[in-house]
Amino acid sequence: MRSILFAAFVLALWFTIFPANTAAQSNLPAKLSEQTQTCIDCHATETAAIYQEWGTSKHFRANVGCFECHSANKDDKDAFEHEGFTISVIVSPKDCAKCHPNEVSEFSESHHAKAGLILGSLDNFLADIVEGNNKFFGGSALTVNGCKQCHGGIVEVNKDGSLKPTGWPNTGIGRFNPDGSVGSCTACHQRHAFSAEQARRPENCGKCHLGPDHPQKEIYEESKHGIAYRAHEADLNMESSKWVLGEDYTAAPTCATCHMSAVRTKDGDLIPVTHDVGKRISWNNRPPVSVRPEVSDKKLGLVKMSKVNWKVRRENMKKVCNVCHSENYVNNFYVQYDGVVDLYNSKFGKPGIKLMKILYNYKLITDTKFDEEVEWVWWEIWHHEGRRARHGASMMAPDYTHWHGLYEVAKHFYIKFLPELKKIGDENLKSSDPQKVKGAKKLLAEIDTLLKQPEHVWYTGNLPPEEKAKRKKAQEEFKKRYK
């Protein structure tokens, strides 16, 4: 009896402090609007799948429907008249911000929101020019179907309000929308169910984060985290409205767990959900040389996040890791990870950049990108193999760190890149252009200096005697074990 009375007291106290009719709840429509009901009368049969998907969503249960999301002002660039209503096809982050201002604000400060800036990069040059042509409405069909489907493109509007095929359909996460906003919430929250469970699954991120240059999905699948996910997927409660690591599940993390989702720390603090995927990342492994995220944030114009030091971000991630792992485990992991980043940066990344700059500065190769073998070799060293190694280390996938990563970097650096550089240097020594001769001498001298550094001396057969003895002893022991 005492326990029942105590429970009743607790409930009464709860509803006194947190009344059921909170501001958030009172702002929700009491019923579907007349406009939305009019839409449904037609679209329930005309686009039955969309209607059914919406019917499974929280939007449906909150009486938020077609008109609330798709209504537009007459002066909107993509507005058009439809059955007596002014609407637009695209529901942009600006539209979503009416109900989700915090999420959109966080997203706008993230690298995801700047993904569309890829359109001026060498990746885009490859798709537009090297691999493509200008026969698709004056541009490359490959860019529209490839690059822009992940990074986002510019959505242009025809005179009748319809959308041009150069930019629509498109759910690229950095999409440039007609209303001036940037981004696409549906990149992760697929319309029209907008399922939280779907957004939490690693497969959701795999639409863009996979392949030879950024294989995060494959890396995750190889890692212990991915193995645990497949084994214990049913224990993750991903359909739960409240999805907090440390409270609702601990069986395995997904991409969302580590980078975005709410976490109950060992100290009992609650780390809230974030839509800025950079808040817990302490290295940016995208460039030829890894940099701290605040450096790249500043270049991208992310003012708020450019002021957040990488150490703060690392502590944010460590709090996530510490839910399942000890402090020593987590701290040592970061020492190991930093070691790989430093190894790649110092041994291959920085020297490679320096050598390529000499080629361009002294006109030892043409200004046209990708018309010479050395450019392709260097591109794949940092853009594909170097990224794989660094991303592999960041997510504990040893095969990507080694065999798909630094093994490939080293093989191509020594067997393709340096020989090609030497060839270019030797050829330009014979040039009638004094500037090219000067550049060739500088290039060859730089290579010579590089190969005298301890980490490169093996290549010239100058491994120190003590290291030779150490390797010989290890090889003899290995042979004995496997005779």
Q: Round to whole Å and give the CA distance between 60 and 137.
A: 39
Q: Are 257 and 245 in contact (CB under 8 A)?
A: yes
The full DSSP string for 282-331 is: --B-SSSS-B-HHHHHHHHT-TTGGGS-HHHHHHHHHHHHTTTS-HHHHH
Q: Which two tokens stand for residue 248?
A: 């609702």
The per-residue pLDDT for 192 is: 96
Residue 25, pLDDT above cutoff 90: no
pLDDT digits (tens, 9 = 90+) for 245-278: 999 999 999 999 999 999 999 999 999 999 999 9
- Distance from C-alpha of 212 to C-alpha of 404, rounded to nearest angstrom: 9
Q: What is the pLDDT of residue 118?
A: 85
Confidence of residue 58 (pLDDT cuts 50, 70, 90): very high
Q: For residue 287, say if its preceding peptide bond is cis, omega within 30 degrees of 0.
A: no
Asked if 385 and 348 count as a contact pair (C-beta separation under 8 A), the reply is no
Per-residue pLDDT tens over the stretch 114-131: 999 987 899 999 999 999
- Neighbour-count burial of 8, counting CB atoms closer than 10 A to its CB (0-12 exposed, 13-18 middle, 19+ buried): exposed
Contact 289, 381 (CB under 8 A): no
**pLDDT tens column, 314-368:** 999 999 999 999 999 999 999 999 999 999 999 999 999 999 999 999 999 999 9
| Identity of residue 113 | A
Average the pLDDT over each of 28-37, 177-186, 438-447 and give the range with the smallest value: 28-37
Per DSSP, the three-state class of 271 is strand
Question: Which pLDDT band, with edges at 50, 70 and 90, does 82 fall under?
Answer: very high
Q: Is the pLDDT of residue 7 over 80?
A: no
Alpha-carbon span 328 to 335, nearest angstrom = 11
Q: Taking 90 as the threshold, does the pLDDT of residue 16 lie above it?
A: no
Q: How far apart are CA 192 and CA 56, in angstroms?
A: 9
Window from 9-23, 138-152, 397-411 with minimum mean pLDDT: 9-23
Q: Is the pLDDT of residue 412 over 50?
A: yes
- Residues 131-146: what's their mean pLDDT? 97
Q: CB neighbours of 103 closer than 8 A, spacing ≥ 6?
A: 96, 275
Which pTM was predicted? 0.91
What number is the average pLDDT over the span 49-72?
Answer: 96
pLDDT at residue 308 is higher than 90:
yes
User: Helix 434-451 crosses helix 418-429 at what angle (to 10 degrees)?
Assistant: 150
Residues in Cβ contact with 212 at an 8 Å cutoff, skipping those fewer than 6 apart: 384, 388
148 to 123, 143, 171, 203: CA distances (angstroms):
11, 6, 8, 19
- Report the pLDDT value the prediction gives residue 219, as an integer from 0 to 100: 98
What is the Cα Rg of the chain in Å? 28
The fraction of the chain above a pLDDT of 90, given in percent, is: 91
pLDDT at position 13 over 80: no
